[in-house]
């Protein structure tokens, strides 16, 4: 079961096949099991099955004469035993993310996962960036949002192709959603921007297969954001300090924000930007260019 832990190369497909069969296959088995459990031969099979797995010591100590099946069933504690599993709970997502990463690499696509609190300025920044990148650069956008498609509409107005993924009650994008969306977008030799759901907690654990997470922290938030949500800042390669056009009107210490970010991630890069005035957008696009060159060199 290496596909589950994400370590196997080329096994992701298999994993997806299994997923496609879905829970019904599992549930079925579960049901059969329940219906069968009174049969003597089944309990025998059960013991034998455990025997194959090295975890059978308990079962060995309980002889199961034909007439004793009921007492075994009525006293389940006599058969309870520990089985060792040792699997990453995020293993399936990680395996799909690895699949996405290979897919992006083979398509010459640099994927960036933009994360922030709600309203930090992700969509505005994307719009400002796309206006400069188009038409010279191939770009596409996957918009994650819990309910609406308003952000995707704002992106499409720039002329860039965009797919909206509504996560419903889900508070983050996962690798399977990106896999599906990317197959529909079909980008080649370009940049894929993924705007994650506005949330600094949940998206931290879900690798999408991106080359980099980019965290956006606006100057209208607290300087202690990186300490309150350390995992997101730790997982990001770059912090964009957004809405810096507002700084003259605010009592906000940008250096303190940067120091806090570096407390949780000593190597995080920082660029100050404003979608409104365009300040810093060129530096951000240069950072993207460098990341593309690196991705191409290592692909």
Partner 1 sequence: MHEIALCNSLVDLIRDQQRQRGFRRVRRVIVEVGVLGHVDPHALDFAFDVEARNSPAEGAVLEIREIQGRAWCMDCSRLVTIARRGEACPDCGGFGLIVEQGEELRLKELEVI
156 contributes a contact to partner 1 by CB under 8 A: no
When asked if residue 116 is in the footprint of ligand GTP (CB under 6 A), the reply is yes
DSSP-based three-state secondary structure for 40: helix
Scan residues 200-219 and list those touching partner 1 (CB under 8 A). Answer: 201-206
Which contiguous run of DSSP H or E holds residue 270? strand 269-272
Residues in the interface with ligand GTP (CB under 6 A) total 17
Return the half-sphere exposure (C-beta side, CA atoms, 13 A cut-off) of residue 93.
16
Q: Is the peptide bond before 135 cis (omega within 30 degrees of 0)?
A: yes
Residues in contact with Mg ion by CB under 5 A are 122-123, 151
Give the closest residue to 112 by CA, choosing from 298, 287, 299, 297. Answer: 287
Q: How far is the CB of 75 from partner 1 (least distance, A)?
A: 10
| Binding segment (CB under 6 A) for ligand GTP, from list 69-77, 117-125, 130-138, 225-233 | 117-125
- Determine the Cα–Cα distance for residues 59 and 48; give it in Å rounded to an integer: 9
Q: Please report how close the Cβ of residue 212 comes to partner 1 at its closest, in angstroms.
A: 18
The reply on whether position 164 binds ligand GTP by CB under 6 A is no
268 within 8 A of 237, measured Cβ to Cβ: yes
Determine if 194 is a binding residue for ligand GTP (CB under 6 A): no
Residues 6+ apart with CB under 8 A from 240: 125, 214, 215, 216, 217, 270, 271, 272, 273, 280, 284
Residue 156 DSSP code: H
Q: Which stretch binds partner 1 (CB under 8 A): 80-88, 133-141, 237-245, 269-277?
A: 80-88
212 is in the binding site of which of Mg ion, partner 1, ligand GTP, none (Cβ under 5 to 8 A by kind)?
none
82 contact, one of Mg ion, ligand GTP, partner 1, none, CB 5-8 Å limit per kind: partner 1
Footprint on residues 30-49 left by partner 1 (CB under 8 A): 30, 33, 37, 45-46, 49
Residue of the chain from 70, 81, 283, 286 that contacts partner 1 (CB under 8 A): 81
HSE (side-chain half, CA atoms, 13 Å) at 4: 7
Q: Among 3, 198, 226, 280, which residue sits at the site for ligand GTP (rule: CB under 6 A)? A: 198
**Considering the rule CB under 6 A, would residue 203 count as an interface residue with ligand GTP?**
no
3-state secondary structure at position 275? coil
Q: State how far the Cα of 116 lies from the Cα of 188, in Å rounded to an integer.
A: 27
Residues in contact with partner 1 by the rule CB under 8 A: 1, 4, 23, 26, 29-30, 33, 37, 45-46, 49-50, 53, 55, 76-77, 79-93, 169-172, 174, 201-206, 226-227, 230-231, 234, 260, 262-264, 266
């Amino acid at each position: 079961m290496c596909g589950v832990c994400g370590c196997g190369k080329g096994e992701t497909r298999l994993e997806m096949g299994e997923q496609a069969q879905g829970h019904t296959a599992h549930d079925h088995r579960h049901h059969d099991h329940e219906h069968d459990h009174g049969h003597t031969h089944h309990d025998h099979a059960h013991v034998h099955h455990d025997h194959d797995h090295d975890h059978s010591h308990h079962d060995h100590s309980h002889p199961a004469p034909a007439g004793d099946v009921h007492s075994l069933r009525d006293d389940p504690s006599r058969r309870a035993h520990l089985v060792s599993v040792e699997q990453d709970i995020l293993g399936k997502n990680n395996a799909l993310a690895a699949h996405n990463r290979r897919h992006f690499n083979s398509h010459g696509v640099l994927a960036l996962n933009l994360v922030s609190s709600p309203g930090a300025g992700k969509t505005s920044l994307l719009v400002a960036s796309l206006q400069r990148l188009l038409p010279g650069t191939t770009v596409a956008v996957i918009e994650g949002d819990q309910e609406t498609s308003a952000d995707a509409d704002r992106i499409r107005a720039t002329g860039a192709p965009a797919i909206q993924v509504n996560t419903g009650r889900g508070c983050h994008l996962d690798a399977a959603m990106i896999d599906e969306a990317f197959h529909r977008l079909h980008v080649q030799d370009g940049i894929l921007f993924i705007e994650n759901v506005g949330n600094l907690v949940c998206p931290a654990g879900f690798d999408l297969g991106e080359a980099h997470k980019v965290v956006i922290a606006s100057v209208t938030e607290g300087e202690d954001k990186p300490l309150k949500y350390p995992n997101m800042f730790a997982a990001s390669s770059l912090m964009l300090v957004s809405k810096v056009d507002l700084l003259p009107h605010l009592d906000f210490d940008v250096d303190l924000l940067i120091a806090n970010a570096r407390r949780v991630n000593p190597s995080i890069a920082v660029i100050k930007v404003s979608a409104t005035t365009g300040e810093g957008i060129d530096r951000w696009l240069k950072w993207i260019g460098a990341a593309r060159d690196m991705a191409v060199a290592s692909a």
